Chain A
Amino acid sequence: MRVGYFCTFTPKELIEAAGFSPFRILAKESITGIANAHIQSYSCSQARGSLERALRAELQLEGVIFTRSCDTLMRLADIWERNTKMRVYNFEFPTRVDEKSKDFLISEIRDLATTLKLWGGDITLQSLKESIELYKELEKKLEELFSIKPDYELILRVQEMSVKEALKMIKVPQKERDKPKVLITGSVCPFLNVFKLFEEVGFAIKDDLCTGTRFFSFKYPEIDINSIEDGFRYLAEKYLYKAECPTKHYERERRFRRILELSKDCNGVIFLLMKFCDPHFFDYPQLKEELEEMGKKTMLLEIEFPAVSLEQLRTRLEAFYEVISC
């Protein structure tokens, strides 16, 4: 049985430990049609496209966990609850991410575990420890793999299955020849043809995407897990120090510092932003300025899903390639 989630701040370990298979919900090929009757056209296409899939009964899910991230996702939870038969739960991940929010997050994790129990999944110390270990193993492996050559087909697939199956899929890729490298920053990008375009134009890529490295970049706490409560505390710390997202507030510009660091060995940075994605767009001018001060060329690509005007994207990417390689 599968439990859906949207945001990488969802502690998937709990879903897995409760005996469900975590399933990341992303927009797919279908053009928003039925969903337009329920959601405004100025919501991002990840929200509209996901709702479309639910309404077209493409998603077979026991329930769906929403997190407090952007406004659109919060309101999507309400729309989802009214218009589908799926169970919906709101996991309140704190917006201000620092030590002070830890206790609150632990209590939220506790509540989520209780909810999963109501949905028929019981978490034991054994199952929790195991899923925490397995996820750490998966994340480490993905990190290693992405440092050699990112594989977006793989990373999208592993987000739709249990961690045990996911681990079986990892194969270490070949190293690439030297090419101009760009950092892609943005929210989700479930469309492989977008990444393929980057490759066709001749770029090597690195990413700060919610469907890419932000899925597996964590700092792991040093906590021995001897009780379920220890496990909750472990997860709270793990997720507080997860790769940063613009929907959160961090101390000392944590998010910007990560992106500036990631961009160091890149020739340029591409903002792959989904139309109407407020959190990313509000950060964009300042982040762009800081990157340019570092001497990085940047480009903004605004996309909508399903990604159709690929030739326009291609021209922009080719021009950017010409800019950074001359």
Chain B
Amino acid sequence: MIFAGIDIGSLTSKCVIIDENKILAYEISRVTPKIEDVAEMVYRNALMKANLSEKDVKVVIATGYGRNKVKFAKDRVTEITCHALGAKYLIPTTRTVIDIGGQDSKVIAVSNNVESFVMNDKCAAGTGRFLEVMASALGVEVSELGELDKKAEKSVSISSTCTVFAESEVISYLASGEKVENIVAGVHNAIASRIAAMAKRVGVKPDVVLTGGVAKNSGVKRALEKELGLEIKVPEEPQIIGALGAALIAKVRYADSRGKSEG
């Protein structure tokens, strides 16, 4: 039996197709303003990869910022619950999930379900957007940030939490001849201290799992581990954890509805 989870984020849309036991396929693509079309497309592409068609799928659940625009989904669940369930499925010892996406970040305390959570505020500090702005000021790609971080000899300090001010600090470091990798390390430390403050409000219990697109950046993982003083686990493909959680909920919803009709 086949289930699907669709996560429409602020920057990317993700779809995960599962059967009872495993992940069959997934797809990640950029979001455009026509969310309905994006959802349709990412769903079809994921199905194609799995060699399946829409009629094979029993239940679809949508999550993420654009979840209400996914008309073909049976139901909508917030990304908080989905990230918790997705992380817990891949790493059963998960007690804390830190999800850093394009425009928000959250820290979730998990036991069997979500215990509590905090989300970042309106501004871009502590999100993928912050890293994108910094990468562009430094003239590098976000996907290069992890490697640059490894080359750093030291880390500059970035005192502003505001993205706009932090960007001008970065530019003035560049102007003073500081090495790009040292600035990158500083940027990672800045975002880590912001996220760690949020995490401490929820309480950090191991295992801590980092999810969302920013988890692909090993420099952020490095900085967060230092800031929190513990090891952080990152799933193989951290960007699809929300969609995976949604697919898992689809599976449970299907079982529940059958249980009801049989009983």
Do A and B assemble together?
yes
In the complex, which of the residues B81, B113, B118, B122 contacts A309, with contact meaning CB atoms closer than 8 Å?
B122
Shortest C-beta distance, A304 to chain B (Å), equals 9
A298, A302, A312: which has the most chain B beta carbons within 10 Å? A312
The B-contacting residues of A in range 95-110, CB under 8 angstroms, are: none
Tell which of A36-44, A52-60, A185-193, A315-323 binds the partner: A315-323
Collect the chain A residues with CB atoms within 8 Å of residue B81's CB.
319, 322-323
Contact mask for chain B residues 108-129; partner A; CB cutoff 8 A; 1 contact, 0 none: 0000011111110110000000
CB-defined interface of A169-193 with B at 8 Å, one 1/0 digit per residue?
Answer: 0000000000000000000000000
Quick one: which of A298, A299, A302, A323 contacts B121, CB cutoff 8 A?
A302
Question: Is A118 in the interface zone, CB < 8 Å from B?
Answer: no
Q: With A309-B122, A312-B119, A312-B122 as given contacts, are A319 and B113 in contact (CB-CB < 8 Å)? A: no
Interface string of B75-98 (1 = CB under 8 A from A): 001111100000000000000000
**A28 at the B interface (CB under 8 A):** no
- Please indicate the chain B residues that have their CB under 8 angstroms from the CB of A315 in the complex: 65, 78-80, 119
The reply to whether A322 and B78 form a contact with Cβ atoms under 8 Å apart is yes
Asked if A316 and B113 sit within 8 Å, CB to CB, the answer is: no
Decide yes or no whether A297 CB sits under 8 A from chain B: yes
B114 touches A323 (CB 8 A): yes
Q: A315-B78, A318-B78 are in contact. Are A323 and B119 (CB under 8 A)?
A: no
Interface flags for B55-79 (1: CB within 8 Å of A; 0: not) read 0000000000100000000000111
A322 touches B114 (CB 8 A): yes
Residue of A nearest to B115 (CB): A323
Q: How far is the CA of A31 from the CA of B79 in the complex (A)?
A: 31
Our pick among A316, A322, A326 for the contact of B119 (Cβ within 8 Å) is A316
Residue numbers in A under 8 Å from B119 (CB-CB): 312, 315-316
Q: Give complex CA distance A174, B58 in Å.
A: 40
Q: Is the CB of A319 within 8 A of B117?
A: yes
Contact call A322/B79, Cβ cutoff below 8 A: no
A98 vs B80: C-alpha distance in the bound complex, in angstroms?
45
CA of A162 to CA of B142, assembled, Å: 61
Question: 23 interchain pairs (CB within 8 A)?
Answer: A297-B116, A299-B116, A300-B118, A302-B121, A309-B122, A311-B65, A312-B104, A312-B119, A315-B65, A315-B79, A315-B80, A315-B119, A316-B119, A318-B78, A319-B79, A319-B80, A319-B114, A322-B77, A322-B78, A322-B80, A323-B113, A323-B115, A323-B116
- Chain B residues near A (Cβ < 8 Å): 65, 77-81, 104, 113-119, 121-122
Taking A297-B116, A315-B80, A322-B81 as known contacts, 19 extra A-B pairs with beta carbons closer than 8 A to each other, sorted by chain A number, are A298-B116, A299-B116, A302-B121, A309-B122, A311-B65, A312-B104, A312-B119, A315-B65, A315-B78, A316-B119, A319-B81, A319-B114, A322-B77, A322-B78, A322-B80, A323-B81, A323-B113, A323-B116, A326-B113
**Nearest 4 CB-CB pairs, A to B?**
A319-B80, A319-B78, A322-B81, A318-B78
